[in-house]
Amino acid sequence: MQSSGSDPEPLLEPVVESVINISEGRRSDVIATIAASAGADLLDVHSCEHHNRSVLTVVGETAPRAITLRAVELLDLTDHSGAHPRIGVVDVVPFIALGGAALGGAAPGGATADRARAARDAFARWAAEELAVPSFLYGPERTLPELRRGAFDTLLPDHGPTAPHPTAGAIAVGVRPPLVAYNLWLTDPELDLARRIATGIRSASVRALGLAVGDSVQVSMNLIDPMTTGPDDVHALVSQLAPVERAELVGLVPAAVLARIDPDRWELLDLAEDRTIERRLAERARRLRDGGGVVGSR
């Protein structure tokens, strides 16, 4: 396995965030090993055994490579099963510019979209050249759903081999604004109902799938414009169509999105101030100043 290169000292105010989706959500020891490779740059880990998927939120440009190295080493896509669509053991690696404009005016840093795009392109080339894992780009070129539909069919990788890596598959590498990953579990376990609801609520601001998760079903969403349509909005909308058992925030949420919502509803919506990007960045800076370690997983 190739090295990810020299590891510079973590920056107190990083300029790029990445929300890495790996195809492992059941083996806590393996997830912990992969997450630990990010060191102090790890902000959050969210795992789901039904999806067999974990979402690792990190900052900087070193951590995504370190996580990818370990995941490619430890995971095998041919042994994977789970509710969520995937093309690789490191399935999705989006790069997000951190800064006031990107996060609703509340975050430190000042990365532009150009910086995040440069980080994306450099990572995709690195994965192809060092790991022989093909990379598909998304962002200005195409959406992530378009990428999933066309990968290795109507769409060839932007970098790397034209066939999937035998155990690692491929990686979708993107650049995007902050979004909110959000699941609503329905009381009724009928999968067709979840799928109909997902189809009905899709819009320019909401991407949605109806998925079976064990004996239950959920509407799994990416709120791609959460300042327009946020967790409270989709919870209210779905609740009009079917009883909602519970809500689940996947990863972190921008503080500006949380600020739009009545605090009395945060618990119902699975939201909290300590699960904002800004709070985790502040905690990370404090740990670095104090010489502390990394965050735990949920």
Q: Is residue 91 part of a domain?
A: yes
**Is residue 138 domain-shared with residue 30, that is, in the same domain?**
yes
**Is residue 190 domain-shared with residue 136, that is, in the same domain?**
no
| CATH code of residue 219 | 3.30.70.670
| CATH code of residue 65 | 3.30.990.10
Query: Is the four-CA dihedral 109, 176, 152, 209 of positive or negative sign?
Result: positive
Structural domain tally of the chain? 2
**Is residue 153 domain-shared with residue 187, that is, in the same domain?**
no
Spatial contact of 251 and 183, defined as CB atoms under 8 Å apart: no
**Is residue 97 domain-shared with residue 187, that is, in the same domain?**
no
**Is residue 136 domain-shared with residue 205, that is, in the same domain?**
no
Instruction: Please classify residue 253 by burial: count the beta carbons closer than 10 Å to its beta carbon, then call 0-12 exposed, 13-18 middle and 19+ buried.
Output: buried
Nearest to 252 by CA among 93, 83, 45: 45
Kindly state the DSSP code that residue 41 receives in the 8-state scheme: G
Cα separation of 195 and 263, whole Å?
30
Tokens of 217: 């079903």
Nearest to 24 by CA among 94, 73, 96: 73
**Is residue 118 domain-shared with residue 151, that is, in the same domain?**
yes
Q: Is residue 68 part of a domain?
A: yes
Query: In which domain, by residue range, is 133 found?
Result: 16-175
Q: Output the pLDDT for position 81.
A: 77
Q: Is residue 6 part of a domain?
A: no
Tens-of-pLDDT digits for all 298 residues of the chain?
444 444 555 555 668 999 999 999 999 999 999 999 999 999 999 999 988 999 999 999 999 999 999 999 999 999 887 777 899 999 999 999 987 444 444 333 444 778 899 999 999 999 999 999 999 999 999 999 999 999 999 999 999 999 999 999 999 999 999 999 999 999 999 999 999 999 999 999 999 999 999 899 999 999 999 999 999 999 999 999 999 999 999 999 999 999 999 999 999 999 999 999 999 999 999 988 887 655 545 5
